[in-house]
Amino acid sequence: MITEKNKLSANPRKRKTCICRVLRLNVNFKGIMKSKSKPAIILGIETSCDETAAAVVEDGRHVLSSAIASSVEEQALYGGIVPEIASRRHIESISQVAAQALAGAGLALQDIDAVAVTAAPGLIGALLVGVNFAKGLAFAAGKPLVPVHHLRGHVASLYLSYPQLTPPFLCLVASGGHCHFVLVRGHTAFQVLGRTVDDAAGEAFDKVARTLKLGYPGGPAIAKAALGGDATRYSLPTPKVADAFDVSFSGLKTAALNIVNQCAMKGEALDVPGLAASFQQKVAAILADKLFAAAAHTGAKTVALAGGVAANALLRQMIETRARENGLAAVLAEIRYTGDNAAMIAAQGFFEYQAGHVAGPALNATATMPMDEEFMAKEAPF
Ligand code: KG4
Ligand code: ZN
């Protein structure tokens, strides 16, 4: 299903390409990697959750096209992601979305240098659709296949809007499934300093939004409700964690739930905007506190924010303000690249490709995988 969420950005240097050429599959086994310094055009494929996305990116920084079909509206009917629905929508949309991305870039499959695909982490059935599709394309076109870690992709979303940005920098990657404080040492070198010990930040927003009957996805719904609320209305606890750069959101979520239940038991009216604002304030403060503690510890000069939760205006504002106060540079993912997209996968795919991280025909998808691990090449590439 292609929804109004679709985005297609045209390449200004567009060459005229007939769409029927786009998915013509020429079998050619001369997929030889370009030299390290030469720019490369990567087709990225992303299907780890509910977005079916494809994009064409040049040298990891310049987006030539980006197409997205999302099943989020259908998922919202169920109050969250139903994995089987996500997989089924991916398989229906993937060919058309990939064709859109190539056409948007004015390129044919033969014009690209490699196919990059999210191979971990994510919903396994959803990942398998993208991996299998990318594998088919790479095999048929004789192009290298580059597996990409989804969270590395979120980090790479920063290069799309800040082409001059180069590691090292400290990045908070906050999404629906993960919450990591990462020292980005190089384009393919990551050190995870801390993480959530329970719920991810986006997951906490989603769960509290469900309790408040604000709908799915919860992050934007809470942010919207919070606009009319007093952030000091309800007092919420700051969860304790053993490790300096870890965070926890499960107790916060329970505290919000207790407020809702107590109001119901006492017959008091719940101040929904007040609770949304208090919760958002607390989550943003916890994330910002840890990010700047990690910056002080590592001596990082640049702090960055990426992932779906990076769309949160309060969190962005807090990080910008505190970076200014601390004399640090703040780099925030552009809103259109905060949620899942394939431009970020193609961007990271470029750096993995440059590093020689290519896969072979037996590439598999993995539901969980640390972001500082490499995909094991068990066989010769295509
Ligand atoms: O990165 P993403 O698109 O998908 C995953 O990889 O999980 O992140 C989705 C998450 C959802 O939990 C959603 O509620 C959250 O990002 N989110 C937000 C906002 N927009 C999306 N959280 C807080 N504030 C927002 N404005
Ligand atoms: Zn994501």
pLDDT score at 4: 36
Ligand closest in space to the Cα of 344: 2
Among the listed residues 39, 45, 74, the one whose alpha carbon sits nearest the alpha carbon of residue 59: 39
Residues with CB under 6 A from ligand 1: 49, 175-177, 202-203, 205-206, 217-220, 223, 307-309, 311-312, 339-340
Strand partners, 52: 69
Contact 236, 279 (CB under 8 A): yes
SS3 label, residue 98 = helix
Ligand closest in space to the Cα of 308: 1
- Per DSSP, the residues of 262-304 read HHHHHTPPP-HHHHHHHHHHHHHHHHHHHHHHHHHHHT-SEEE
Q: How many CB atoms lie within 10 A of CB 339?
A: 29
For a ligand 1 pocket test, name from 205, 208, 253, 369 the mutation site with the most ligand atoms within 8 angstroms of its C-beta: 205
Ligand 1 atom nearest to CA at 178:
7
Q: How far is the CA of 214 from the centre of ligand 1 (A)?
A: 15
SS3 label, residue 30 = coil
Q: Give the Cα separation of 166 and 184 in Å (integer).
A: 9
Q: How far is the CA of 343 from the centre of ligand 1 (A)?
A: 17
Q: Give the Cα separation of 275 and 116 in Å (integer).
A: 42
Q: Give the Cα separation of 209 and 220 in Å (integer).
A: 9
pTM of the full predicted structure? 0.90
For a ligand 1 pocket test, name from 68, 175, 286, 338 the mutation site with the most ligand atoms within 8 angstroms of its C-beta: 175
Dig out the tokens for 326 from the structure: 């601390």
Q: Give the Cα separation of 251 and 236 in Å (integer).
A: 9
Binning the chain into helix, strand and coil, the percentages to the nearest 5 are: 40, 20, 40
Q: How far is the CA of 305 from the centre of ligand 1 (A)?
A: 12
Mark out the alpha helices in 299-356 (DSSP H runs). 313-325, 343-354
Q: What is the pLDDT along the chain (382 residues), one digit of tens a residue?
A: 444 343 333 333 333 332 222 222 222 333 344 444 567 999 999 999 999 999 999 999 999 999 999 999 999 999 999 999 999 999 999 999 999 999 999 999 999 999 999 999 999 999 999 999 999 999 999 999 999 999 999 999 999 999 999 999 999 999 999 999 999 999 999 999 999 999 999 999 999 999 999 999 999 999 999 999 999 999 999 999 999 999 999 999 999 999 999 999 999 999 999 999 999 999 999 999 999 999 999 999 999 999 999 999 999 999 999 999 999 999 999 999 999 999 999 999 999 999 999 999 999 999 999 999 999 876 788 8
Q: How far is the CA of 27 from the centre of ligand 1 (A)?
A: 39
Ligand closest in space to the Cα of 220: 1
